[in-house]
């Protein structure tokens, strides 16, 4: 970034447009910013962790570096607010179905456990208690939205910025932005 900042955090009124994507104003504001950005989309009348303690944060995890940065931001917020954290891991394929070989099921399970172990180690370093949850055989956005509907204050989602004139973080983030019942923080690096 031009002024030497390491992260731009954006929270403006009217984050979303009428179609559910990011607004043109937000896209214009973030255009040209090449460094990491975090976009806050506040829902439910502004109910969020600021000024409160003991909220609930949902952090979807996938094992990617982008996801890991979202975890680190979410854990930092949780530590500062004494919030409860749930890490949600979604497998796109149900490891228990017979259509997968035994070795394929083992690989899927091994990957899931490795990701959740890494997140648990980060949570321990941040001194934040962590609850883990997994969902199988559903689209990530469906799993995130279902879990978010269970009373969370904030979803922290690590995302990748996609090219284009309008701000876009991919289909999963787009679906969460459009349909989430809770506030969202999109962490893009």
Residue 100, pLDDT score: 57
What's the CATH class of domain 8-188? alpha beta
- Listed by start position, the domains of the chain span 8-188
Residue 32, pLDDT score: 80
Helix H, strand E, coil C: the string for 67-109 is HHHHHHHHHHHHHHHCCEEEEEEEECCCCCCCCCCHHHHHHHH
Residue 47, pLDDT score: 52
Residue 51, pLDDT score: 52
Which residues, given as ranges, of the chain have pLDDT below 50? 1, 95
Residue 108, pLDDT score: 81
Residue 44, pLDDT score: 64
Token pair, residue 153, equals 């204050």
What does pTM read for this prediction? 0.87
With both helix axes pointing from N to C terminus, report the angle between 65-81 and 102-125 in degrees, rounded to the nearest 10. 40
Residue 2, pLDDT score: 54
Residue 117, pLDDT score: 96
Residues 176 and 185: beta-carbon distance below 8 Å: no
Token pair, residue 73, equals 């931001």
């Amino acid at each position: 970034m031009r002024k030497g900042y390491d992260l731009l955090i954006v929270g403006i009124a009217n984050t979303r447009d009428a179609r559910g994507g990011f607004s043109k104003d937000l896209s214009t504001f973030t255009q040209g910013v090449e460094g990491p950005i975090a976009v806050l989309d506040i829902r439910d009348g502004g109910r969020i962790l600021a000024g409160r303690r003991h909220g609930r944060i949902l952090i979807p995890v996938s094992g990617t570096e982008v996801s890991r940065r979202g975890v680190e931001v979410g854990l930092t917020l949780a530590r500062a607010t004494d919030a409860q954290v749930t890490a949600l891991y979604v497998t796109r394929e149900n490891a228990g179905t017979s259509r997968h070989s035994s070795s394929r099921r083992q690989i899927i399970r091994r990957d899931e456990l490795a990701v959740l172990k890494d997140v648990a180690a980060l949570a321990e370093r941040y001194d934040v208690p962590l609850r883990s949850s997994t969902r199988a055989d559903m689209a990530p956005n469906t799993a995130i939205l279902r879990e978010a509907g269970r009373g969370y204050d904030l979803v922290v989602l690590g995302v990748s910025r996609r090219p284009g004139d309008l701000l876009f973080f991919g289909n999963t983030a787009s679906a969460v932005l459009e349909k989430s019942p809770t506030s969202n923080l999109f962490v893009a690096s």
